[in-house]
């Protein structure tokens, strides 16, 4: 059954891949492209006004908030680094279960039961 599905999938890909497509061809007009590139207005940069009229607002001390955010970030990273024991047990159970299934299939078929 698996071989039949693989064969059908491969033949479908090969058949549909050989069908010609109806893409719109792109006709490049070099003269038009060059005219557009020459007529583009360059961007005008506005001068910076930082500090011309003094500071806009009074400076705010943000050091305690930054320290709190750093501590929260560290705690979050530590929580991410330590794996969840339930997930570790789930992965271990899945691995052991798959090995048991493979071993029982091999012994039922009559093949060698390797460890």
Residue-wise pLDDT tens digits, 25-35: 778 888 888 88
Whether 71 maps to a domain, the answer reads: no
46 falls within a domain: no
Assigned token pair, 81: 């680094």
Categorise residue 82: left if φ over 0, alpha if ψ from -120 to 50, beta otherwise. beta
Question: Do residues 113 and 107 touch, judged by C-beta distance below 8 A?
Answer: yes
Domain count, the chain: 1
Q: Is residue 24 assigned to a domain?
A: no
7 in a structural domain: no
> Which structural domain, as residue segments, surrounds residue 104?
83-115
Instruction: For residue 96, tell me if it sits in a domain.
Output: yes
Residue 53 C-alpha from the chain's centroid = 46
pLDDT digits 0-9 by tens, 54-95: 556 666 665 555 566 788 888 888 888 888 889 999 999 999
Is residue 49 over pLDDT 90?
no
By the 8 A CB rule, do 100 and 106 touch?
A: no
- Is residue 110 in a domain? yes
Number of Cβ within 10 Å of residue 63's Cβ equals 7
Q: Is residue 48 part of a domain?
A: no
Specify if 27 maps to a domain.
Answer: no
């Amino acid at each position: 059954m698996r071989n039949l599905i693989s064969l059908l999938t491969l033949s479908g890909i090969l058949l549909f891949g050989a069908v010609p497509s109806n893409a719109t061809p792109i006709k490049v007009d070099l003269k038009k492209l060059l005219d557009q590139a020459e007529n583009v207005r360059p961007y005008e940069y506005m001068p910076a006004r930082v500090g011309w009229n003094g500071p806009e607002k009074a400076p705010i001390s943000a050091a305690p908030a930054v320290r709190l955010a750093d501590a929260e970030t560290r705690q979050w990273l530590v929580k991410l680094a330590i794996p969840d024991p339930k997930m570790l047990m789930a992965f271990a159970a899945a691995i052991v279960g798959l090995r048991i299934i493979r071993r029982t299939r091999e012994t039922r078929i009559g093949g060698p039961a390797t460890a």
